[in-house]
Structure 1
């Protein structure tokens, strides 16, 4: 793949406190063959005004009510024309100005359909709280509760066309289910970029309270079962335990 075009999608909803940091991390990239798409859920807190300040760097912008984050992601994907597609949420930002260059080089140099990398969880001041170091991919790892960080997940556009988009039926596990579907079920070719490429805001909908956590476990279990994980009970038990290493 020569001079790969990267489509990067940012979804937003009332993210005035963080969206500028997210956008500037894209604007400042050294790699230039980038298509930047922003999908907003009809924010009313000033998010749209901040986005408008960077309109010359944004190739497509749409703001309207949606059915949630995965609906917004699917909308963004539908407007992508790049060879490779990645997601960057409004609360998150790229680690440095060479991230997209590293990603493009990886796709050009390696025979891969997708890649993932590492990320740091940070607080609002940028202090690192957790370090998610994924390690090299082995197919059987998904059976033992392993998963890559979704914000580092970059995929050839053709995979979405072949295997489908994010499935709302899995709730907060829709991103996990999609990675299972692409990597485990359909065995797409995988490359691990052994670098931190994203700073991710700590927290998340699935972790806000015990009720949400139980719902997330159920969604994870269905995602595992539907994508033919051999031991979903073991996987669902080990998946949260793997997070312990992120604090070490």
Structure 2
């Protein structure tokens, strides 16, 4: 089983080397590692060139943003399974892809979802984001599994399409809604902690971002013909607290 890992980047010189070394250090060897760069102006390209022996394929060209770059990576991928690793993230351990490959071989599922940990610049873990209790109906109230923890069969993108470009930070939510809720793909919780994420991404950067993603969640659901109550999505922060207290 070949697993394609896609990393998209732009001016990521400060973090990209750790990401590359994280992929290179995986015990699983049938990995296709693709980097899509958006014409970085810093030393990102130099870092890519320094580690070309660890990268299967890479391009650097202008794009229409993060999700356009992801779509380019998907088009380049030849693996059976696709995972996304952001340019400021690393795999949680050297055995992650070995565990993912074993899980997919055993379960024959369209997608697996797992857990990520979020850390600050000092490396301190500040949150564990698990999808253990998630199910697709929770998309209706604004909850999706952590995107970097999802590994998809490549054929899903061929059948059901790629990331929609009409979103600023919510195209991953739309794709997950389309795949899991509208198309009803098969999936399982893997129990694998896949990724260590640096906090401060596009969808986790304050009140303005919260309002934007709230709007885009509703757009994603409406696009796919999914019934929802806007009030519940707007109040999802409180449902999250209630869920935490129940646990």
Tell me if both proteins adopt one fold, taking TM over 0.5 as the criterion.
Answer: yes
Give RMSD over aligned pairs. 1.9
2:168 aligns to what SS in structure 1? helix
Cα distance in 1, alignment partners of residues 91 and 239 from structure 2 = 24
TM-score normalised by length of structure 1 = 0.92
8 Å contact 1:142–1:235 — kept in the other structure? Answer: no
Once the 2 structures are TM-superposed, how far is the Cα of residue 207 of structure 1 from its aligned partner? 3.5
Q: Secondary structure at the match of 2:40?
A: coil
Structure 1 residues 160, 235: CA separation in 2 closer, same or farther (over 3 Å shift)? farther
Residue aligned with 1:146, SS? coil
Among 40, 43, 47, the alignment partner of 1:46 is: 43
Aligned-partner Cα distance in 2 for 1:232–1:63: 42
User: How many Å apart are 1:225 and its aligned residue?
Assistant: 2.0
Residue aligned with 1:61, SS: strand
| 1:219 aligned residue | 216
The match for 1:64 among 57, 61, 64 is 61
Q: Secondary structure at the match of 1:21?
A: helix
TM-superposed CA distance for 1:203, in Å, is 1.2
Give, in angstroms, the shift of residue 136 of structure 1: 4.4
Q: What aligned pairs does 1:98-109 form with structure 2 within 5 A after superposition?
A: 98-109=95-106
1:237 equivalent in structure 2: 234
Q: Deviations over 1:11-45 (max 9, x none)?
A: 01111111011111100000001100001111121
Deviation (angstroms), 1:238: 4.5
Determine the structure 1 residue equivalent to 2:86.
89
Q: Give deviations 1:60-88, integer Å, cap 9, x for gaps.
A: 01011111100100001110000011110
Distance of 1:185 and 1:211 partners within structure 2: 29
SS at match of 1:229: coil
**2:139 pairs with 1:142:** yes
- Distance in 1, matches of 2:47 and 2:197, equals 20
Stretches of structure 1 lacking an aligned partner (at least 5 in a row): none
Q: How many residues are treated as equivalent by the alignment?
A: 245
Q: Give the distance between the partners of 1:62 and 1:165, measured in 2 at CA.
A: 19
Calculate the TM-score normalised by the size of structure 2. Answer: 0.93
What's 1:17 paired with?
14
1:121 is aligned to 2:118: yes
Question: CA-to-partner distance for each residue in 1:143-200, whole Å, 9 max, x for gaps?
Answer: 3332100011111111000100000112210001101110111000001111211011
Q: Any idea what the Cα deviations from partners look like across 1:182-225, whole Å, max 9, x if unmatched?
A: 01110000011112110111012233343333222111111122
> How many angstroms apart in 1 are the aligned matches of 2:180 and 2:217?
16
Alignment of 1:180 onto 2:177: yes
- Which residue does the alignment assign to 1:199? 196
Q: Secondary structure of 2:121's match?
A: coil
